[in-house]
Amino acid sequence: MIGGGKTVGLVLMIVSAVLLLVFGAWVLTAVSTDETTSGGAVLGLLLAVGVMAPIFGIGAYL
């Protein structure tokens, strides 16, 4: 299949960006309702970026 790698790469990039946005919205909600501390929110965002960045990078590479 010609061009299949580009399609898979684009899908990976879109999925990782959407998941990061969803997680960011969840963190903002958790901070605004005092469910978590600001330090916990920062740690959560860093962990989410640490997971999503390689997925996005693999998608960009393909």
- The reported pLDDT for the residue numbered 50 is 93
Distance from chain centroid for Cα 54: 10
What per-residue confidence (pLDDT) applies to 3? 67
Residues in the chain with pLDDT values less than 50: none
pLDDT number for residue 1: 56
Residues 7 and 54: beta-carbon distance below 8 Å? no
* pLDDT at residue 36, rounded to an integer: 87
Phi, psi for residue 35 in degrees, rounded to 5: -80, -25
